Structure 1
């Protein structure tokens, strides 16, 4: 899909007679509990301010206990109980995991791994996206669900599937093989074009016919898969799951055209399962599941990921479908959240454009694989700090709605950090200059470093209008297609201010290297010509593990060997090293004029600290001023009503010490914060929301 081919944004409407509010709730699994528990659930939901729950996500076996035998009675009763209490339902298609009767009757729907082993039932998502048999059963269930609930006033949206590709991203079955062949024929048209794209002249991999295309199955330990083929298989896998989602979506929409549809993405700083920006054009409203990163990066990574979701949504309101009240259950060590983080984390998502805050899940499970995953109502019950915080958050969200937050959007930053899923997929290959460098790591480092100098950047997909920002950062954007190369050139030529880093513009969309020295297609824009990479590490005695810059920054993992710079380029920082290494005095950071604009090229992996140290010089060179009021101890995010000018400023403490400041405007929500006149002190894990 292109930037212009996106579905119209449609948001779930409030229940009849109810005002529009920030949606608040979570996954609800009443089928895990006896019905006598349901009344208590509804009572406590009302107490907490819950106004929406997602129901039926993993309920296929309960809804259709045997083939063509449906039991909607239990689901009708709980939806009716919820709706009468003012709690809307985001109803799942229930297709996330097939029941045992289906997989026993049709084992051919089970996906296979790259060695050919079958994924057996016993967990979830054990189905093939390309299985026509599974698709037939899933769409039959979708139509039955839609027919039964098409007139139900309490169902306000469809939750299609669940976290597509979380476990079945790659399938190497015979169905997948046929589908991959068809995908390649549709993409390339001729087998000669496939041979050219994949460079099959290398290692005698020439293909005579589309029937010779096979998925990138096991090729032996330590061997190297064809990079072009592997990149295309990742594209195909995202498209295959998307096609399955679209089939489900359309089956539901045909019967219930008035109900908006979504599915939950998994956008995080470390998440590149699917091309979520591509998927973003296929949903009526963007939804995301996000789980916190423990430790010192917690808040910054959350804000980075939420900003990317806002970019995928093109600044339309988006839905936080899942996050956690405290610990998850799927890490080796599952750290709890600190006091205050339950409220703060949710408000950080809201600050970044979310008009819905939901958790996994409402009531903590008593049994099963997720029984130790935190919930809104924990094992400890109503008398617990978690539930008290859940109630506090419900009141805060109600206050923000009353104050007019709905209808506002995340204010546009002057700086865009560009994120590209395909650059990440290409940089994941096992035959690269270093396995320690991937695209996915660099955007977060730049987001955090910019925050350290008081700038809150927007994180935007490469398909978006990043070229409409004052400053655009291309952080290790490994793939630059001809189209995106043109966009870069036009952006800077027309006055844009570009920051590009190492590992940017290495290859085109086929993963063919741009020749003539890196970064091949934009060398003249950034004013450098790189002859080779100089990776660093600690795996062999005596190899270099870092390289100093003369501005005090330190490079790790990789630097560029810049052989020459443009005649008008200016070196901002150089490497310092022993003279015999050939790196001493070489350019590390270079500024270059191009047309009406200017670029800065950073030829080293500097990490958050090194970027922050270098940013004042870089921004000054680009003519970018940082506001005097900026405070690196605070993460400052604003939502604006474009029609009235009303502004909500969210201030988050990024440190482990209290932070005090003067504020303009009226505080409307505070958590772990104290006001004394115009002076506010925000404690660690605290947040303040001010309306102006």
Structure 2
């Protein structure tokens, strides 16, 4: 585990007290200056105290090579600061200006077929280009020198959503950088050959110069999985190296100013290894956009918990979310009444001390003109803006009550997430294309929430072995060190829950031999000889029932032996012809002083929820005894002394939820308090915050 940078948080402007940072991306260069004063009036009215400026302003800051125009930026920063609004200043490198790409088209990234990504959108640059790095760092240096003494700039916003559009580059610059990366990682070409299994299909390499990126190999062919996994690792590292170069220039000139960049952690997003990147920022920032549908709220809670895990429970910044609809889906659903406030408070509950949106004023032109904003096209007289003002007042109220200085209270259960396991399961030659790591942690989080357990979602590199119970959900890659941690954790009394497709391969994506789950087969006490893919087709199984009423979809294990120390809790029920009838589906094994449960199929949220009462009971994990405990998600924040202890209660359902009120209500939305205030009705999309 690498060393993390010292945590540093943006400090309030001189003369102001610390508040929850509140605001969003501000693009004054999209508007005539006569709009700026109106923006600031409305920001003050809404309680905005923090805006990110200059993210896509390179062409305006440096209109021609080496000629810088800071005058307009100086004026708006001065106006904001004097109005009490702090600035998170961007390095402005996210999208290069046309004069640069026309003079140096070699900075443009190429796709796997060799086609050039031409200017016209954003992030049309390759992170391994020495030419682009020279220009970008010159801009960073000019920005830092000009604003090093500006009292209104409280943080650096380095780049923007690295890898959102330029995650993979297959150019010659990338090829040479990939070769160097492999040299550093493996030292010898023989070690690369071993890692990639190049004895298969005559792919043996004699020298590092023979390493090429996973470029186009023909439709329907299979890329070497070891190379593909390493190229994803390299691509994350290449972008990280570019970020660090920007960060270090800014820090050299402004050493007292904290630096961050906005991640894209989500319930489905695995663009970069954000836990690895978390080592390199002074405070973690994340952009999150809701997934429409019945999983809307759970997706926000899950993602915010994972972001808190990446931040190691230090306060973090929600750098972007949406007030309502986005613009980049085929159908862009609006948020329902109450969801703007509730969604923001969910991130706050999970450890964010900054709540920001994209963007302040909704654009009237350009690619994101239909993306919602804090000030919509409808203007000040709109429900969205009124909700923005309500949220600003709520955040100030919570700060007055002592929320700042509290942290997300540690759960009794950890759900482990691993970016690299997801990358490995994305390969096209696997038992089934319907199974990936990324979906299983979310299913477990939701199922646990159904039983009143708000789990912490934590990266595999974190201290997950300090929790009472740990879930390894389809953790496909388990190296020797992680397998050793698993054994020590359970042997010392830990309670482990493991689902199918866990511990299949090591860090090279080499299969653990001897039967599945090879890496930790002794811990779970079962041995599977084959995977049983499940899908609708003529004469095949599309699901398998379990004896406890749950149903397995997509994948099951054909378990052929169970240890003497293990007990079968549920079996599969299927046509005897399939060879699956009566085979173990859920088992529990005693290992040292602990126990390990193995779920031999992917049951989804509902199947897991049906199975958890017995499973958690066997493990001795306490859950709420109330039948409707899963209707409300309970999240707690407290300081070390427990002097300030807040409970956030969110309605997860489409019906009214009645809750007992333990403390003093502080903030509420779509909530009806009874006359005695000892109970409350939380309506759908509602939230209640009480202070104990």
Q: Does 1:581 align with 2:595?
A: no
Q: What's the offset of the Cα at 1:86?
A: 0.1
Match of 1:479?
477
Match of 1:526?
524
Match of 1:342?
340
CA separation in 2, counterparts of 1:679 and 1:270?
Answer: 36
Q: Output one character per residue of 1:354-401: Cα deviation in whole Å (capped at 9) or x when no partner.
A: 000000000000000000000000000000000000000000000000
Q: Does 1:189 align with 2:187?
A: yes
Q: 2:562 aligns with which of 565, 572, 594?
A: 565
Give the 5 Å matches for 1:238-637: 238-538=236-536, 540-628=537-625, 631-637=629-635
CA separation in 1, counterparts of 2:641 and 2:28?
Answer: 42
Q: Output one character per residue of 1:61-106: Cα deviation in whole Å (capped at 9) or x when no partner.
A: 0000000000000000000000000000000000000000000000
TM-score, structure 1 normalization: 0.99
CA separation in 1, counterparts of 2:440 and 2:608?
Answer: 10
Q: What's the offset of the Cα at 1:579?
A: 1.1
Q: What's the offset of the Cα at 1:644?
A: 3.6
Q: Output one character per residue of 1:602-634: Cα deviation in whole Å (capped at 9) or x when no partner.
A: 010100000000000110110111134671100
Q: What's the offset of the Cα at 1:646?
A: 2.4
CA separation in 2, counterparts of 1:607 and 1:54?
Answer: 39
Q: Output one character per residue of 1:146-175: Cα deviation in whole Å (capped at 9) or x when no partner.
A: 000000000000000000000000000000
CA separation in 2, counterparts of 1:602 and 1:647?
Answer: 36
CA separation in 2, counterparts of 1:671 and 1:625?
Answer: 30
| Secondary structure of residue in 1 paired with 2:671 | strand
Match of 2:662?
664
CA separation in 2, counterparts of 1:168 and 1:8?
Answer: 29
Q: Does 1:178 align with 2:176?
A: yes
CA contact (8 A) 2:451 2:624 kept: no
Match of 2:679?
679
CA contact (8 A) 2:476 2:503 kept: yes
| Secondary structure of residue in 2 paired with 1:253 | helix
CA separation in 2, counterparts of 1:121 and 1:483?
Answer: 45
CA separation in 1, counterparts of 2:404 and 2:568?
Answer: 47
CA contact (8 A) 2:140 2:246 kept: yes
Structure 2 gaps, min length 5: none
| Secondary structure of residue in 2 paired with 1:281 | helix
CA separation in 1, counterparts of 2:233 and 2:614?
Answer: 39
Q: Output one character per residue of 1:502-521: Cα deviation in whole Å (capped at 9) or x when no partner.
A: 00000000000000001112
Q: 1:23 aligns with which of 16, 21, 31?
A: 21
CA separation in 2, counterparts of 1:602 and 1:521?
Answer: 16
Q: Does 1:691 align with 2:691?
A: yes
Greater alpha carbon shift after TM alignment, 124-133 vs 671-680: 671-680
CA separation in 1, counterparts of 2:110 and 2:576?
Answer: 54
CA separation in 1, counterparts of 2:117 and 2:538?
Answer: 42
Q: Does 1:6 align with 2:4?
A: yes
CA separation in 1, counterparts of 2:660 and 2:55?
Answer: 46
CA separation in 1, counterparts of 2:669 and 2:384?
Answer: 15
Match of 2:46?
48
CA separation in 2, counterparts of 1:606 and 1:644?
Answer: 39
CA separation in 2, counterparts of 1:164 and 1:302?
Answer: 21
Q: What's the offset of the Cα at 1:663?
A: 1.1
Q: Output one character per residue of 1:625-650: Cα deviation in whole Å (capped at 9) or x when no partner.
A: 11346711001000011124421000
CA separation in 1, counterparts of 2:614 and 2:154?
Answer: 51
CA separation in 2, counterparts of 1:174 and 1:617?
Answer: 56
Q: What's the offset of the Cα at 1:422?
A: 0.4
CA separation in 2, counterparts of 1:628 and 1:310?
Answer: 28
Q: What's the offset of the Cα at 1:543?
A: 1.6
CA separation in 1, counterparts of 2:660 and 2:312?
Answer: 32
CA separation in 2, counterparts of 1:269 and 1:171?
Answer: 25
CA separation in 1, counterparts of 2:640 and 2:8?
Answer: 19
CA separation in 2, counterparts of 1:586 and 1:395?
Answer: 57
| Secondary structure of residue in 1 paired with 2:669 | strand
Q: Output one character per residue of 1:552-610: Cα deviation in whole Å (capped at 9) or x when no partner.
A: 00111110000101111100000001111100000000100001100000010100000
Q: Output one character per residue of 1:175-233: Cα deviation in whole Å (capped at 9) or x when no partner.
A: 00000000000000000000000000000000000000000000000000000000000
Q: What's the offset of the Cα at 1:488?
A: 0.5
Q: What's the offset of the Cα at 1:132?
A: 0.3
Q: 1:151 aligns with which of 129, 149, 152?
A: 149
CA contact (8 A) 2:491 2:591 kept: yes
Q: 1:448 to 1:644 in 2, by over 3 A?
A: closer
CA separation in 2, counterparts of 1:643 and 1:218?
Answer: 58
Give the 5 Å matches for 1:634-653: 634-653=632-651
Match of 1:88?
86
CA separation in 2, counterparts of 1:547 and 1:335?
Answer: 35
TM-score, structure 2 normalization: 0.99
Q: What's the offset of the Cα at 1:542?
A: 2.3
CA separation in 2, counterparts of 1:105 and 1:142?
Answer: 20
| Secondary structure of residue in 1 paired with 2:435 | coil
Number of corresponding residues: 689
Match of 1:125?
123
- CA RMSD, Structure 1 to Structure 2 (Å): 0.7
CA separation in 1, counterparts of 2:642 and 2:331?
Answer: 47
CA separation in 1, counterparts of 2:673 and 2:489?
Answer: 45
CA separation in 2, counterparts of 1:534 and 1:626?
Answer: 32
CA separation in 1, counterparts of 2:23 and 2:553?
Answer: 43
| Secondary structure of residue in 1 paired with 2:630 | coil
Q: Output one character per residue of 1:378-429: Cα deviation in whole Å (capped at 9) or x when no partner.
A: 0000000000000000000000000000000000000000000000000000
Q: What's the offset of the Cα at 1:661?
A: 1.9
Greater alpha carbon shift after TM alignment, 640-649 vs 573-582: 640-649
CA contact (8 A) 2:569 2:588 kept: yes
| Secondary structure of residue in 2 paired with 1:632 | helix
Q: Does 1:218 align with 2:211?
A: no
Q: What's the offset of the Cα at 1:660?
A: 1.1
